């Protein structure tokens, strides 16, 4: 982290991060995801401006399972439901325990750069959380999306 003008600024992880079937790196204020043909077919490389990432879901790696960092990207169309599970979960970047710290640094950097929605004038954080809970209860938000948005409001 670098202190600048009284606030902490996160540095982007340097170099490439290798996950299961993906290579990820930072270029300016965007992340690039290069998909392996073996896992994902011919998806190629995707450039995602951080301002287009609306939520992040994190899962710690375990002894026998991979961890993952999943990005919810604004305006991205859902993949074909008949596509392979890897293509359907193309924004879920899987990694092993050995790469956990580098992917955690990427997550922290993305979160520091994400556009934070300002609270609606006249409404409190509690009001906003209540609205999110209502959306979750109606099935519009998943539990993970609710938890991410609630944490953002409380930060």
CATH number at 43 reads 2.30.29
Query: What pLDDT is attached to residue 105?
Result: 92
Q: Are residues 79 and 138 in the same domain?
A: no
Both 109 and 137 in one domain: the answer is: no
Cα(first)–Cα(last) distance of the chain, in Å? 18
Under 8 Å between Cβ of 61 and 100 = yes
Q: What's the pLDDT band for 103 if we cut at 50, 70, 90?
A: very high
Say what the pLDDT of residue 10 is.
67
* Domain boundaries, position 52: 2-115
Q: Are residues 74 and 7 in the same domain?
A: yes
Whether residues 51 and 86 fall in one domain: yes
In whole angstroms, what is the distance from residue 82 CA to residue 72 CA?
20
Question: How far are the Cα atoms of 11, 41, 50, 58 from residue 3, in angstroms, in the given order?
Answer: 10, 42, 21, 26
CA–CA separation, 123 and 144 (whole Å): 23
Total count of domains within the chain:
2
In this structure, are 100 and 137 located in the same domain? no
Provide the pLDDT for residue 5.
39
Same domain, 111 and 124: no
Burial degree of 145 (CB within 10 A; 0-12, 13-18, 19+):
middle
Collapsing DSSP to helix, strand or coil, 57 comes out as: strand
Residues 39 and 66 reside in one and the same domain: yes
Please choose, from the candidates 69, 33, 34, 74, the residue with its C-alpha nearest in 3D space to the C-alpha of residue 53.
74
Whether residue 43 sits in one domain with residue 103: yes
Per-residue pLDDT averaged across 24-40, rounded? Answer: 84
Same domain, 107 and 133: no
């Amino acid at each position: 982290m670098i202190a600048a003008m009284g606030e902490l600024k996160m540095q982007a992880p340097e170099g490439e991060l290798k996950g299961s079937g993906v290579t990820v790196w930072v270029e300016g204020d965007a992340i690039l995801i290069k998909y392996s043909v073996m896992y994902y077919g011919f998806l190629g490389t995707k450039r995602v401006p951080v301002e287009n990432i609306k939520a992040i879901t994190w899962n710690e790696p375990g002894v026998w399972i991979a961890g993952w960092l999943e990005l919810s990207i604004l305006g991205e169309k859902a993949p074909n439901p008949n596509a392979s599970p890897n293509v359907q979960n193309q924004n879920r970047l899987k990694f092993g325990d050995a790469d956990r710290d580098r992917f955690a640094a990427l997550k922290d950097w993305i979160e520091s750069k994400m556009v934070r929605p300002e609270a609606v004038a006249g409404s409190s954080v509690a009001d906003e959380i209540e609205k999110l809970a209502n959306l979750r209860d109606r099935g519009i938000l998943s539990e993970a999306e609710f938890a991410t948005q609630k944490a953002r409001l409380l930060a």
